[in-house]
Amino acid sequence: METLWFMIVAVMLTAYVVLDGFDLGAGIIYLTVARTSDERRTVLRAIGPVWDGNEVWLLAAGGTLYFAFPQLYASSFSGFYLPLMMVLWLLMLRAIGIEFRTHIENPVWQAFFDAVFFGASALLAIFFGAALGNVIRGVPLGPDGYFFEPMWTTFKLGPNPGILDWYTVTTGVVALVTLTVHGALYVAVKTENELSRRARGVAIMLWPVQFFLTCFSLGVTYWIRPSVMDNYRAHPIGLLVPVVVFGSLAVMMWAAPKGKEKRAFIASCVYIAGMLVGAAFALYPVVLPARTAAYSLTIYNTAAGHHGLAVGMVWWTMGVVLALGYFVFVYRMFRGKVRLEGGGY
């Protein structure tokens, strides 16, 4: 049951990154690709019906984590309190940037909220990537299961690291570039003419950077934490993950220049899912590695009781069926290219 809930949380977090990731990416390219007010309205219309719904997966994953692995939830919030509060503020600022821009006609205020939307989207991508880097690198957990990390120390890997060091900054940059490409491909799929071509051009331009950062991040991850390969050695089926990751990168590079935005976007979704599944596969059964391995949190010493997990599975299944039904309806309703008939976004 613990393994099943580990997989459920991993899938929900992956769904959030894939779905809300293109919203963040659209925000990151917003100021450069969309050059007129109408083009910016078009980008907002491309994500307008779905961006707030996509965030449901983050809330649901957090609630599931609290239910299934309460000790992990408590430990993570104790050590990552400040960055988590910053993430909450950035999520609110992104929503403010989108909503207020659509209700204020003054061009000065529209430009201000455009900048808020862009800044919050870019910083969220970096913070999410740095968070994953902290989990992979390990945190200074004590025997009581709690820890504290300053925001940064010397930016070097050592016995007293900060939340930000050269490795976690690297993973943050990987996330920034990956979600920028992801969002650019989504905007290219949903828009037309010059706006679509410029968005596709951003994805093509950043592809070599994404490829290099992927190789570099995987290499340094193995260098700082060789144990990430243990599960791959024990279960060779896991070697399919890097095949999927680099195969999806190849499809993106083939499809985007040919104007096949949908295929490139689907490949980007597969790439993100492959990277996250690969990280979960490498960590299992550890959910929060400690600098001292004996203090690491696993699915076994953080999980709720078996009866609670079994009963919760019934309610979770009903909830996720409703959520999936809603998402299928919304995405089918708003499929196709977006246009500017009418007001609002």
pTM, two decimal places: 0.94
| DSSP β-bridge partners for residue 164 | 152
Q: Classify residue 345: in a domain, yes or no.
A: no
Residue 183 in contact with residue 175, Cβ under 8 Å? no
Helix (H) or strand (E) holding 288: strand 286-288
d(CA 173, CA 280): 20
pLDDT score for 342? 64
d(CA 271, CA 256): 14
Q: Classify residue 90: in a domain, yes or no.
A: yes
Q: How many CA atoms lie within 13 A of 208 on its CB side?
A: 2
DSSP secondary structure letters along 70-87: HHHHHHHHHHSHHHHHHH
Q: Classify residue 339: in a domain, yes or no.
A: no
Find the helix packing angle between 306-333 and 56-68, rounded to 10°.
170
Q: Classify residue 344: in a domain, yes or no.
A: no
| Cβ burial, residue 159 (10 Å; 0-12/13-18/19+) | exposed
Q: Classify residue 342: in a domain, yes or no.
A: no
- Phi, psi (5° rounding) for residue 298? -120, 175
H-only helix segments in the chain: 2-28, 30-33, 37-47, 51-54, 56-68, 70-79, 81-103, 107-137, 166-190, 193-224, 230-234, 240-255, 261-283, 299-302, 306-333
Q: Which of 38, 20, 40 is nearest to 30 (CA)?
A: 40
The total of structural domains in the chain comes to 1
Residue 161 in contact with residue 173, Cβ under 8 Å? no
d(CA 129, CA 187): 22
Q: Classify residue 71: in a domain, yes or no.
A: yes
Q: Classify residue 341: in a domain, yes or no.
A: no
Peptide bond into 257 cis (omega under 30): no
Residue 249 in contact with residue 256, Cβ under 8 Å? no
d(CA 137, CA 108): 43
pLDDT score for 82? 87
Q: Which domain holds residue 268?
A: 2-333
Residue 129 in contact with residue 279, Cβ under 8 Å? no
Q: Classify residue 314: in a domain, yes or no.
A: yes
pLDDT by 10-residue block (mean), the chain, 345 residues: 94 95 95 91 92 91 92 88 91 93 88 95 96 92 86 82 91 97 96 93 96 96 93 94 96 94 96 96 94 90 92 93 93 89 61
Residue 164 in contact with residue 152, Cβ under 8 Å? yes
